[in-house]
Structure 1
Amino acid sequence: MREVKTSLRCGLGAFLLTSLVGLAPARAADLTLNAIFMQQAAYSEDDVRSMTRDFEAGHPGVKVALEFVPYEALHDKIVTAAAAGNGYDVALFDVVWTAEFAQRHFLKDETAAIPAADTAAVFDGAWSTVTYDGKRYGMPWILDTKYLFYNKDLLRQAGFDHPPATWSELASQAKAIKAKGLVQYPIVWSWSQAEAAICDYTTLVAAYGGDFLKAGKPDFQNGGGLEALEYMKGSLKDGITNPNSREYLEEDVRKVFSNGDAAFALNWTYMYAMANDPKESKVVGKVGVAPAPGVAGKSSVSAVNGSMGLGVAGSSAHDKEAFAYIAYLTSKAVQDKYAKLSLPIWKASYDDPAVAKGQEELIAAAKVALPVMFPRPMIPSYQRLSTTLQSAIQSALFTDTTPKDALEDAAAQAARIR
C-alpha cells in the first residue's frame, strides 16, 4: 500500500486541519468511533482499513472500530441501532435511504460543517445523495452508476467494432454473438429480488424516458417504466439474457463476465478493475466499458444514481470526531489515491492523469454518465416501494404475468403506501 498524503488540498482538507486542535485533548483517554460499511462493491475492505489507519495516525487518541456487512443487511442494521439509541457513530447509507433517515433523525444535519466552497467542486449528483429538504446529512463518498461492460474480443469475433449505442442495438449484437455460438447467453444482469434489480430497471427507465412517480402518484406502470420491463422480459424470451440473471447479484454478474461467459454486463465501477485483475479474471485486456445505452429519439445514454454517503448517526455523542473521520475519507487527496474501485466525487479528479492512469476508458465513460444519473424516488417510504417493485419485476420475469399486469398491480399497491 502506498502511504497516504497528509496534506489535503480541498475545502474539507482545510476543515480537517482546523479540527485537529479540537481533537487533540482526546489523547489522554482514547475515544472509539464505531463505523459501519458494506462488504461488496466500491472501496474494498482493505482500502477502508488502510484509509482508517492513516486517519488514526493523524488523530492521536481517536480509534475507529469498523464493521462490514452485506449491502442487503446495511439498511436494517442502521435502523436497528438507531432504534436502540446507541451503536454507530458513522454510517454508510444509500442515496435512497437519505429521506427516511433524515426524517427519522437517524442522521445528523451536517450542512454547517461542510465548507461552502465544496459545493461547486463536487458533482451535483453526488450532493443529491446526502441532501433532503435542503439540508445535507453527511458527505457523498461513493459516486457510482452502472456502466455497460463488454468483451471486446467477442464483439470483434461477431464483426462489431464498437459497443452498442442503443438498447436495441445491444439486443441485435447479442443475437449475432449468440448465433455465432460465441457464448450461449450474451447478456448478464443482477435481477435477484433485491435492490440490484431496481438499479438495472432504473437504468432502462431512464433510457426510455420514464418516471417512477408523477404528482406523487405511481407512474412506472406507464410509458418508459413499462417499456423497461418489457425489454427485460423480451431479452429472456429471445435467449440473449442469461436466465440465471433473475437470481444474480452484482458479484455473480462480475464472475460470469470475468469468466468469459458473457459479452455484455451491467455493473458498477468496481468491476472494471476486478475484471482486469489476472487473479480475478480470464478476460484481462479484453474489457471494454461505456455508458449504458440510450433509446433512439429519447436518450443518448442512461445512468442510475447508485451513489452512497457517509453520515454521523443521530445517536452519536461524538459528532465532531465522527465528521472529521468522514471529512478525511471523502477528501480529494484520499479519494484520488483510492480511485481504482470507486471514482472520486470531486470534478477536478477526472482531469488528473494520475487518477485516469490505467482506467482512461472508464474515466471517459464516467464523464458522460455521471452528469445524467437518474434517481430512484427520494421519498421516506422508498424501502416499501422498492420491495413492491422487486416483487413485480420477479413476477414478470419468472412467470407468464405480463409486464403491464405486474406493474399495474404494483402501482395499485404503491398508491396505498404512506
Structure 2
Amino acid sequence: MKKLTVMIVSSVLLTSFLAGCTSKTEEPAKPKSITLNALFMKQAGYSEDAIKEATDAFIKENPNIKVETTFVPYEALEQKILVSNGSYDAVLIDAPWTAKFVKAGVLKEVTDKVKDADRKDIFDGALSAMQYENKLYGMPWLNDVKYLFYNKEMLTQAGISAPPQTWDELIADSKILKDKKIVEFPIVWSWKQAEALSVDYTMIAASFGGQMVKDGKPTLNEKANIDALSFMQQSMKTGLTNPSSPEYLEEDVRAVFSSGKAAFALNWTYMFGMANDPKESKVVGKVGIATVPGTSKAPGATTNGGMGLSIAKDSKNPEETWKYIQFLASKDFQKKHAKDALPIWKSLFSDAEVVATSPELINVSKKQYEHIVNRPVVPWYGQLSTELQTTVQKALFEKETPEVALNKLQDKAKEIASK
C-alpha cells in the first residue's frame, strides 16, 4: 500500500511538471523591443507637432517600437542622409534626390511593397518622384506644388477682373498696379541662389516649352529655355519685381505678400493657410489662388515639390520602418492634416471633409495637378542645380545675356553629365 501511494504521488508530480513545461512553451513570445530613428525636415508642410503626434499614436499601437524623430533645415537634409551610415531608419527625401540617392546606394527598394490599387490612387507626379529606372524607392508623403497667389483687393482697385493666365498678362497687370500706385513692386519671387530658384526656373521654362534635360542629356541652351530666362530678366529690369527677390527664399516671399507689399507671388501650398491667418498676415480675406501662368506655347506648369519617406539602406529594422512609413502616409493621417498639406491620395479630393478644409485650394489644385513638371531626374541634378542658380542670377543682374549664360551652362552641364 505504501509503495502504491508513492507511485500515485510520483505520477501526479510528474504530470504537474509536464503540464508546467507545456504551459511555458505555449506562452507567446513578447515582440522584441526596437528603436527607430526618423529624419525629417523643418517646415515640410506637416508641422513638427503633427509628426510627433502621429508618431506617438504609432507607438501606442505598436508598443514594442519606439521612434526617435530628428528635424533639420532643408539645406542640411540631403547631406545628412548621404553621410548617415546607419544613423537613421526612415528618411524624408526631396523629389530630385531619388536618382542620386539610388546611385549612392543609400535607399532600399520598395517596389513590391506598394499595392497596385494604392498606386492607382496616388497622383502620378507624387509617385514618379520616388521612382528611378522604373523602381520605387519610397512612399510619397508630401504632395506639394507652387501656385500663383494674388491680392484680390489690389486687383479690384486696379480694375483687373481676373488673375493672369499668361506671363504676358502678369506683366501687363503688374504695370497697371504700379502705374496706379497701388503697390510699388507688384511681383515678388524666391530667386535667391538656392534650390528655390531652380524650382522657379524649371516651371517657367516648361511654360515656354523648354526642358533642361532630354533623354538624360542636357539641353539648356534651347530657345525655349533662353526665352524663359529672358522673361525673368525682363521682370527685374522693368521695375515690376521686388528688387530684393534675388535675396529671397519662400518664407521671405510669404512675409512680403502677407504684409500687403505685393500683388502677385508664387509659393507652395502652405502659404494659402498662413496668408489667411490673422496671427501671420495683414491680408486675411484678400488672398486669391490660381494656377501658374503659361504662354501661347504651353500651359502654366508647376514644379513638383513632393517629398517622400524612404527606408535607409543600412536600417537594421526595415519591416518596422516600412510599417511606420505606411502609418504616416495613410489616408487617416493625410485626411486629418489636409489643411497643412494636400493628400497624395486622389480619392481624398472627393472626400467632403477634405474639400471643406479649403474648397478654393482644392478646386485650383485639381486643375494645377494636370500640369506638373519634375526637375531633371538624373544623378547629377544636384550639381546642375548649383550651376543653374549661378547662371540665372548672372542674367538677373544683367552680367550676362540669357543666351550667353545658358550657352556656358550647357557646356558645363555636358562636363558634369560625362563624369
Amino acid aligned to 1:183 = V
Q: TM-score, normalised by structure 1?
A: 0.91
What code does the residue aligned with 1:59 have? N
Deviation for aligned residue 1:220: 2.1
Q: How does 1:200-211 map to 2 (within 5 A)?
A: 200-211=200-211
Aligned to 1:52: 55
1:73 is matched with 76
| Residue correspondence of structure 1 range 277-356 to structure 2 within 5 A | 277-296=277-296, 298-356=297-355
Distance in 1, matches of 2:120 and 2:223, equals 35
Residues 11-66 of structure 1: CA deviation (Å, up to 9, x unaligned)? xxxxxxxxxxxxx977553x211111111241111221121111111111212111
Q: CA deviation at 1:352?
A: 1.4
Q: Quote how far apart the aligned CAs of 1:400 are.
A: 2.6
d(CA) in 2 for partners of 1:140, 1:243 = 36
Q: How does 1:75-94 map to 2 (within 5 A)?
A: 75-81=78-84, 85-94=85-94
> Which residue number corresponds to residue 384 of structure 2?
385
Amino acid in structure 2 at the alignment position of 1:42: G
C-alpha displacement at 1:215, in angstroms? 4.2
**CA shift at 1:223, angstroms?**
2.0
Unaligned runs of 5+ in 1: 1-23
Show structure 2 runs of 5+ residues with no match.
Answer: 1-27
Offset of residue 190 of structure 1: 0.6
- Aligned position for 1:151: 151
Residue 18 of structure 1 corresponds to none
Change over 3 Å in CA distance of 1:26–1:49 after alignment to 2: farther
CA distance in 1, matches of 2:274, 2:139: 26
Asked whether the equivalents of residues 338 and 357 of structure 2 are also in contact (C-alpha less than 8 Å), the reply is: no
Residue by residue, what CA displacement relative to the aligned partner does 1:62-112 show, whole Å, maximum 9, x if unpaired?
12111111111111111111xxx2211011001100011112221100111
1:19-418 aligned within 5 A: 29=33, 31-81=34-84, 85-296=85-296, 298-417=297-416, 418=419
What is the CA–CA distance in structure 1 between the aligned matches of 2:315 and 2:341, rounded to whole Å? 27
Within 2, Cα distance between the matches of 1:356 and 1:216? 39
User: Which SS does the other structure have where 2:323 is aligned?
Assistant: helix
User: What is the identity percentage for the equivalent residue pairs of Structure 1 and Structure 2?
Assistant: 49
Q: Distance in 1 between matches of 2:126 and 2:216?
A: 24
Structure 1 counterpart SS, 2:185: coil
Tell me the amino acid that sits aligned with residue 358 of structure 2. Answer: Q
State the distance in 1 between where 2:86 and 2:299 align.
Answer: 47
Distance in 2 (CA, whole Å) between partners of 1:46 and 1:262 is: 31
Q: Which has the larger radius of gyration?
A: 2
Give, in whole Å, the separation in 2 of the partners of 1:306 and 1:212.
17
What is the DSSP-based 3-state SS (H/G/I as helix, E as strand, rest coil) of the residue aligned with 1:148?
Answer: strand
Kindly state the Cα deviation for residue 338 of structure 1 after the two structures are TM-superposed.
0.5
CA RMSD after TM alignment: 1.4
CA apart distance, 1:331: 0.9
SS in 1 for 2:49: helix
CA offsets per residue over residues 282-305 of structure 1, 9 Å max, x none?
111111111101102x22322111
Q: Is the 8 A contact 1:206 1:304 kept in 2?
A: no
Deviations 1:228-261 (A, max 9, x none): 1111110000111111110111111111111111
